[in-house]
Every structure is written in structure tokens, then in C-alpha cells.
């Protein structure tokens, strides 16, 4: 079952085959959860969103049409769930984006790296929702501008604008109060 392409698994899911849908979930769960975690900054909220996304996918399996890749469609459902979450809940904090420090680094350098990572994570959380989502899909998920545009239901040019504004916003937030040489 696991070696079937996504579109065949979706077709089987539409006919009520839970094992096919479970294969889709196993195949895409890590990426959906990762996107939701990076967007929300909260593992609890990300898990709830991922569950909502897969429930929506199960319910829509019969209506899905293979004009686009299933993974692109699933990213769009995930993106919409993240944006809706942002509208519903105004989180007061949450977990930072997950970063891992290099093993064996000196304690001072590791502390400095961790502080920089926390500053970046906080700055990402302050971006406008569409900018944050575009940035996460590009930098953390490795998606192309075309894939991001399909996921967000917009044009590649709009994605380029979102990314540029996101990078400008990050630069502004991270450089505030720092020496110009570091920025």
C-alpha cells in the first residue's frame, strides 16, 4: 500500500479505504506538522492543526481532483488552517521554532547562537500571517515560489513580494538596537 502514488491512495480513500488514508497520513504527517509547528510556535496547536488538516483531507477525498499534486493541495489546506488559526487565536507566546545547536561547540558560542535563534524565531512570529507562511514554506520547507503560490492560492509574483517584505521585516526587527556592522 505504501508504494502507491498519492493520487491512487486518495482514490482508494474516497472509496472508504482507511488503510490507504493512513498511508497518506504517514507519508505527509511530518511535513504538515512541521509547517504548523513553525507557523504557530506551539506543539500543542500544531498537533491540533495537523489533525484538523487530515480530517479535512479525509472528508474531501471524494472531491479531490488530480489537477495538482496531492501534496500541493495538502499544503494549501495546511496553509489555510494556519491562517484560520491565526484569526481565531492570538497566542501569547508558545514554543520557538525548533533549531538544533551544533554538538561540541563552546558554551559561549552555543549560548550566543541560541539567543540569535530565539530572536529570529520571535521575529518570524511577528510577521504578518501570509508573509510568515511564505517564509516558512520557502526557508524551512524548501518549497519553490511556484509551489508556494499554489499552496497560498496566489501568483508567483505575489509570493516574491511576500518573501521580500518578510525578509525586510525580519531585517528590521533583528537589526533594531544592533550595531550597523552586524546588520
Instruction: Answer with the residue of higher pLDDT: 130 or 183.
Output: 130
Percentage of the chain beyond pLDDT 70 is 83
Average pLDDT of every residue of the chain: 83
- Mean pLDDT score, 52-62: 89
Among the CATH numbers 1.10.10.10, 3.90.550.10, 1.10.10.60, 3.40.50.720, which is that of 105-176?
Answer: 1.10.10.10
CATH architecture, domain defined by 1-95: Orthogonal Bundle (1.10)
- Which pTM does this prediction carry? 0.67
Q: Where are the domains of the chain?
A: 1-95, 105-176
Q: What is the 3-state secondary structure (H, E, C) of 50-95?
A: HHHHHHHHHHHCCCCCCCCCHHHHHHHHHHHHHHHHHHHCCCCCCC
pLDDT in tens, 94-123: 444 444 444 555 666 777 777 777 777 888
- Mean pLDDT score, 49-59: 92
pLDDT in the model for residue 124: 86
Amino acid at each position: 500500500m505504501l508504494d502507491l502514488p498519492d493520487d491512487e491512495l486518495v482514490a482508494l480513500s474516497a472509496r472508504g479505504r482507511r488503510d490507504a488514508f493512513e498511508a497518506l497520513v504517514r507519508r505527509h504527517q511530518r511535513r504538515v506538522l512541521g509547517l504548523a509547528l513553525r507557523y504557530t510556535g506551539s506543539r500543542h496547536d500544531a498537533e491540533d492543526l495537523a489533525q484538523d488538516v487530515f480530517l479535512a483531507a479525509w472528508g474531501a477525498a471524494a472531491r479531490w481532483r488530480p489537477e495538482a499534486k496531492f501534496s500541493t493541495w495538502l499544503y494549501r489546506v495546511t496553509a489555510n488552517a494556519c491562517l484560520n488559526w491565526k484569526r481565531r487565536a492570538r497566542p501569547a507566546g508558545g514554543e520557538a521554532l525548533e533549531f538544533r545547536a551544533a554538538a561540541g561547540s563552546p558554551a559561549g558560542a552555543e549560548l550566543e547562537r541560541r539567543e540569535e535563534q530565539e530572536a529570529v524565531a520571535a521575529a518570524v512570529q511577528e510577521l504578518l500571517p501570509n508573509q510568515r507562511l511564505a517564509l516558512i514554506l520557502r526557508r524551512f520547507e524548501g518549497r519553490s515560489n511556484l509551489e508556494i503560490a499554489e499552496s497560498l492560492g496566489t501568483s508567483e509574483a505575489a509570493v516574491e513580494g511576500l518573501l521580500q517584505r518578510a525578509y525586510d521585516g525580519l531585517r528590521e526587527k533583528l537589526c533594531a538596537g544592533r550595531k550597523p556592522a552586524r546588520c
